[in-house]
Amino acid sequence: MPRPRPRLIWLALGLALVAAGCTDSDGEQSAGADPPAARATTAAPAPTTASPTSGSGTSAAPGTSTPRSDPGTTATSAPTTTTSTPRPDPAAASLTVLELATVDRPVDVVSGPDDALYVAEQGGRALRLEAAAGTPEVYLDLSDRVSTGNEQGLLGLEFTADRFYASYTDTDGTSMLVSWAFDGAGRPDLASEQVVLRVEQPFANHNGGDLAFGPDGYLYWSLGDGGSGGDPQGHGQNPATLLGSILRIEPTPDGPQPYAVPPDNPFADGRQGAPEVWVYGLRNPWRISFDSATGDLWIGDVGQSTVEEVDHLPAGTAAGANLGWNLVEGNEPFAGEPPEGHVPPVFTYGRDEGVSVIGGVMYRGSALPTLVGAYLFSDAFGGWIDALVVEPVDAAAADPAVEHFRLLADVGPISAFGQTADGEVVLTSLDGRVLALVPA
């Protein structure tokens, strides 16, 4: 595993002292890149159980796994607040952004097991950034195998204690989920490479591509509807395809198959949907995250031409959720009426505010105490950072109460949010900056 490094407390403390998309018809501009082109949907480990899919693809269910002791998103009760937890007060926050490094078109940033930051460049390089004054070093270069047109590229990074995961589109435009063990220096051992899953893409936009390990220990992979405009192949409302969905799997690098399907996945038997599908009805989920305190799942889903949306799925409510695309765009009818059981977004905004939502993170750090319990997000072309405060879901209430706050304006084309090991917020911008959110 990567060698231990000092925790990045400088992001919470030291830096504070120093500091004292999308428009569409058939082509689109969106968060991950400039817009897209064409292919069909398949998943790729050798199947042990076939499941129905649309088009020419098949979805494989390479075995099943045993339930985890910490179910995370499969918990049976929604999160609640306690009197000992202060209510977030974003209006009282005084903050700014501080530039940590400049790289080439970054689209993701995560904290590694060594507490360093790892940044994905769309062109295919994963970079390691150890300290505020440090120079990013190349951790893994996949540029010779990554397609970079439109919204393609190296799109997501994740770690476990003993493996590194990357999500990218290959030179054929296929979405790839690949992992490597670490060598003795804490870098990916190329000889240990394992293709976990591959999904063919019919067009070059709406790739999604984010990765996140949930509090249940399973790996979640977000995939867009396949691209073009309006979901012409109907992936969003078809849970039998892997596109337009968030997948949930258990990587099994030492097993006979590269992953197993958790037995409590909503379509684990493959009869009414692909076994890997956890949530569907998505257009282009650009950044997903879990609340480290509650296990809630948050999603930023890029709209077609009218509405951008933020989705909030409290722990225990996500399995099989239908978020509505392409029948609805946000809360607005698009190709029909909301489907039965539609889970509406918790927040939407129109094109007067931005055109490509960037899903963010629930703040659980310590440097910005008035933001604890607030969800932070952005828009690639809006240039702002906003916060949502959502009251706990009450089964007796129709809808949760949501408050919206503008935290910062004119911060540039934000492309992704990340968190340090200490829960502080870092961001990437399409103009090349890696940023920290710090007290003003």
Strand order in the sheet with 163-169: 154-159, 163-169, 175-181, 194-199
Mean pLDDT split into 10-residue runs, the chain, 440 residues:
35 32 42 31 31 32 38 34 72 96 97 95 96 83 94 97 97 98 96 98 96 98 97 98 98 96 98 98 98 97 97 96 98 96 97 97 98 98 97 62 96 97 96 97
Q: What is the pLDDT of residue 391?
A: 85
User: How would DSSP label each residue in 16-76?
Assistant: HHHH----BSSSB-BTTBS----------SPPSSEE--STT--EE---B-PPPSS-GGG-S
Strands (E), 182-236: 194-199, 211-213, 219-223
Q: 321: helix, coil or strand? A: strand
- Adjacent-strand bridge partners of 102: 433
Q: Are 164 and 188 in contact (CB under 8 A)?
A: yes
Q: Are 286 and 212 in contact (CB under 8 A)?
A: no
Rounded distance, CA 119 to CA 165, Å? Answer: 13
Q: What is the pLDDT of residue 421?
A: 92
Listed residue (309, 244, 233) closest to 282, CA to CA: 244
Question: At 91, phi and psi to the nearest 5?
Answer: -65, -25
Other Cβ atoms closer than 10 A to 370: 18
Rounded distance, CA 371 to CA 368, Å? Answer: 6
- Adjacent-strand bridge partners of 221: 211, 247
Q: Could you give the domains of the chain? A: 9-439 (2.120.10.30)
Q: What is the pLDDT of residue 25?
A: 39
Token pair, residue 388, equals 């949502």
The pTM of the full predicted model, rounded to 2 decimals, is 0.84
User: How would DSSP label each residue in 226-275?
Assistant: -SSSS-TT--TT-TTSSTTEEEEEEE-TTSSSSEEB-TTSTTTTSSSS-T
Q: What is the pLDDT of residue 397?
A: 56
Q: What is the pLDDT of residue 150?
A: 87
Rounded distance, CA 308 to CA 379, Å? Answer: 9
User: How would DSSP label each residue in 342-357?
Assistant: B---SEEEETTT-SSE
